[in-house]
Amino acid sequence: MEYLMDTKIGKIFAEEEGGFITRLGFCGANPAAQRGAEEPPAVKKAFEELEMYLEGRLKKFTVPINPKGTEFQKRVWQNLLKIPYGQTATYREIAIRSGNSRAVRAVGMANNRNPIAIIIPCHRVIFSDGRLGGYAGGAKIKEALLKIEGAVF
């Protein structure tokens, strides 16, 4: 089931399975989504941490996550989790860290398929020339997230 949260950057949905967040991202209005007392503990914690993050009061998420993807995607996402708060890395740097310096486009596709936005910080990945690049939530949201973190880009 999808749960919905209104934030200053738009509506965010979350899904959990077995006590882990499996999906979190940006959405439009979804009448099937819920917000209320029946939120599972992982969703409630994710929303609380997102609220603190968006206020600039949280630098590291602790909610348990379990993203679903290929082995390469999971390796990329693990490397995204290693990018420090307030810093950026290039697609090439993530490709190298993920074991294949030529997999820059594959890293871009893994970012595009990131099922747990913000918590797995694909917004911290930029082009080598400093351009922000794409983002599932849109370029304005990517820029807003980087500004919350005080990142220089």
CA 148, CA 55: separation in Å to the nearest integer? 8
Determine contact, residues 24/116, Cβ cutoff 8 Å.
Answer: yes
The residue among 79, 129, 123, 127 whose CA lies nearest residue 100 is 79
H/E/C letters for each residue in 50-118?
Answer: HHHHHCCCCCCCCCCECCCCCHHHHHHHHHHCCCCCCCCEEHHHHHHHCCCCCCHHHHHHHHHCCCECC
Burial 74-100 (b: 16+ CB within 10 A, else e): ebbbebbeebeeeebbbbbbbbbbbee
Residue whose entry in the numeric block shows the structure tokens 């993807």: 69
Question: Which residues are annotated as catalytic?
Answer: 122
